[in-house]
Chains A and B, each alone.
Chain A
């Protein structure tokens, strides 16, 4: 049981426990805060997978922007400061069964694959070299510049669209 396994088990426990709290807690602000805890655990996992840039971008984009947007949305869409009524609808036993069956189905599919016990491959360079490789991959014409630019246009469309939809048309 070496250090990386200990870190994985701790962060996996954090992720699963926080995710369960997200879907079951009554207080919606607490659900958003548990989501932040989940996202932080996922960032630790990225760092463990030697994708350091993704770990930091996860914190900046998800926790620093998306989670804050969620908290603002929760605060703006209520008539009073408290939550009322049930937060979970009446079909929850069926949904829980479906969730467990989906998990079982995914495990069955994984067990039929023989690459499951694979150990990490060799890193193809130092982390500095990987970072510059990522930059080249995102901007090189024979690699991924087109999805990158389309993602930028998507974000622009989302920006304009969300401002227009939520605008007070007086």
Chain B
């Protein structure tokens, strides 16, 4: 095993040899090696996070027809560093009457719940944290911890607007977990396992799940955007709506932790979209060169992140009751219908060879999407006619 084909095991082996050579027992050497590996993964995620600040600001600028940061460094590449310095030197205010411990733990938990996710993402054929056989459920669990941090932030700020914003955000997040879990069940059924490594391996050779189940990818994308709390589902953060919700009382680097957590969360969900539906790290020559595979993964994750940003900067904000109605009356029935259709088609066409199977799944998705749009069209036509019918009074 060389460094280029199996980097993590190579470095681990070398570390164990060095540490035991220095006289440490095997047990402590393995603990230190594991801690160093965890530290490396977290550092990689955070460095990526810093880059994402620049990506976000450039992309939003281009969507809005302007240039974006272009002064600090070539093309404004070093812009995140002045941002970080600004946030660090701001005054750190804890409001009077706020619950100090809970107030300070909330941003840390919010960022931590995102970094937890990086442990199960397969970056390449041999670069991953751990191959958990319940990785998709772990994804939902980490989302639950993020939800918890929001309600801790809202409550401990001792501020009505923060509490209201946190309530709305948490209600939206736990409601949208249901279509997300059902959308996550679709790659599970297609690959036969909850493990992300097995799902990625299933998509080798160009059999991306996006081609087998495009409606599932769309469903996952929509519910992921709602889970992230990004526009158009960001009732909490709308400055014109609720004065930035649970973020109100957070200043300086604590707000920086929330902001960095949100960007990294969006990128991580782009990464999950890539792993679950776009083939993960697969690409030409990626199975023998892990670093090339990692590059493909980051490129696909960037594409997923760009999709999420595209939706954010194009669509106006949705009201909370519309948002919840959208979830319970539209997304959840469509998700369950898609799951049933996928399971039926999968078990019927499984033995027939890949092309009829793929074609059957794709066509069933398109059919379901078309039926959904027809039902929507009929419902909205009915609503429009109901509104139009009262005759104007002063008309001869």
Q: Which residues of A contact B (CB under 8 A)?
A: 3, 27, 29-30, 33, 36, 52-53, 56-57, 59-60, 63-65, 67-68, 71-72, 75, 81, 127-128, 131
Q: Using Cβ atoms and an 8 Å threshold, which residues of chain B touch A75?
A: 155, 163
* B148 sits at the interface (CB 8 A): yes
Q: How far is the CB of B392 from chain A (nearest CB, A)?
A: 32
* B41 sits at the interface (CB 8 A): no
Instruction: Say yes or no: A60-B151 contact (C-beta < 8 A), given A29-B102, A128-B133.
Output: no
Q: Do B152 and A33 touch across chains, with their CB atoms under 8 A apart?
A: yes
Considering the complex, which residues of chain B in the window 137-157 have a beta carbon less than 8 Å from any beta carbon of chain A?
A: 137-138, 140-141, 143-145, 147-148, 151-152, 155
* B158 sits at the interface (CB 8 A): yes
Contact of A36 among B148, B158, B194 (CB under 8 A): B148
Contact of B133 among A27, A72, A131 (CB under 8 A): A131
Q: Do A71 and B151 touch across chains, with their CB atoms under 8 A apart?
A: yes
User: Which single residue of chain A is at the shortest CB-CB distance from B154?
Assistant: A75
* B170 sits at the interface (CB 8 A): yes
The 0/1 profile, CB within 8 Å of A marked 1, for residues 158-198 of chain B is 10000100010010001001000000000000000111000
Q: With the chains together, A3 CA to B26 CA distance in Å?
A: 12
Q: Do A63 and B148 touch across chains, with their CB atoms under 8 A apart?
A: yes
Q: With the chains together, A36 CA to B102 CA distance in Å?
A: 13
Residue pairs across A and B with CB atoms within 8 Å: the count is: 64
Q: Do A60 and B163 touch across chains, with their CB atoms under 8 A apart?
A: no
Instruction: Say yes or no: A3-B27 contact (C-beta < 8 A), given A53-B134, A60-B137.
Output: yes
What DSSP secondary structure best describes chain A's contact surface? Answer: helix
Q: With the chains together, A168 CA to B158 CA distance in Å?
A: 27
Instruction: Say yes or no: A128-B138 contact (C-beta < 8 A), given A68-B151, A68-B174.
Output: no
Q: How far is the CB of B202 from chain A (nearest CB, A)?
A: 14
Q: Using Cβ atoms and an 8 Å threshold, which residues of chain B touch A81?
A: 158
Contact of A67 among B140, B148, B194 (CB under 8 A): B148
User: Which single residue of chain B is at the shortest CB-CB distance from A54?
Assistant: B134
Contact of A29 among B138, B155, B170 (CB under 8 A): B155
Q: Using Cβ atoms and an 8 Å threshold, which residues of chain A touch B102?
A: 29-30, 33
Contact of B134 among A56, A65, A67, A72 (CB under 8 A): A56
Q: With the chains together, A68 CA to B151 CA distance in Å?
A: 8
Q: Do A52 and B134 touch across chains, with their CB atoms under 8 A apart?
A: yes
User: Which single residue of chain B is at the shortest CB-CB distance from A53?
Assistant: B134
* B262 sits at the interface (CB 8 A): no
Contact of B145 among A63, A72, A128 (CB under 8 A): A63
Q: Using Cβ atoms and an 8 Å threshold, which residues of chain B touch A59?
A: 141, 144-145
Q: Do B174 and A64 touch across chains, with their CB atoms under 8 A apart?
A: yes
* B339 sits at the interface (CB 8 A): no
Q: With the chains together, A63 CA to B163 CA distance in Å?
A: 20
Q: Using Cβ atoms and an 8 Å threshold, which residues of chain A touch B143?
A: 64
Q: Using Cβ atoms and an 8 Å threshold, which residues of chain B touch A67?
A: 148
Q: Using Cβ atoms and an 8 Å threshold, which residues of chain B touch A127?
A: 133
Q: Using Cβ atoms and an 8 Å threshold, which residues of chain A touch B174?
A: 64-65, 68
Q: Using Cβ atoms and an 8 Å threshold, which residues of chain B touch A56?
A: 134, 137-138, 140-141
Q: Do B151 and A52 touch across chains, with their CB atoms under 8 A apart?
A: no
* B201 sits at the interface (CB 8 A): no
Considering the complex, which residues of chain B in the window 100-140 have a beta carbon less than 8 Å from any beta carbon of chain A?
A: 102, 132-134, 137-138, 140
Interchain residue pairs with CB less than 8 A apart (7): A29-B102, A52-B134, A53-B134, A64-B140, A64-B177, A75-B163, A128-B193
* B99 sits at the interface (CB 8 A): yes
Q: Do B99 and A29 touch across chains, with their CB atoms under 8 A apart?
A: yes
Q: Using Cβ atoms and an 8 Å threshold, which residues of chain A touch B132?
A: 52
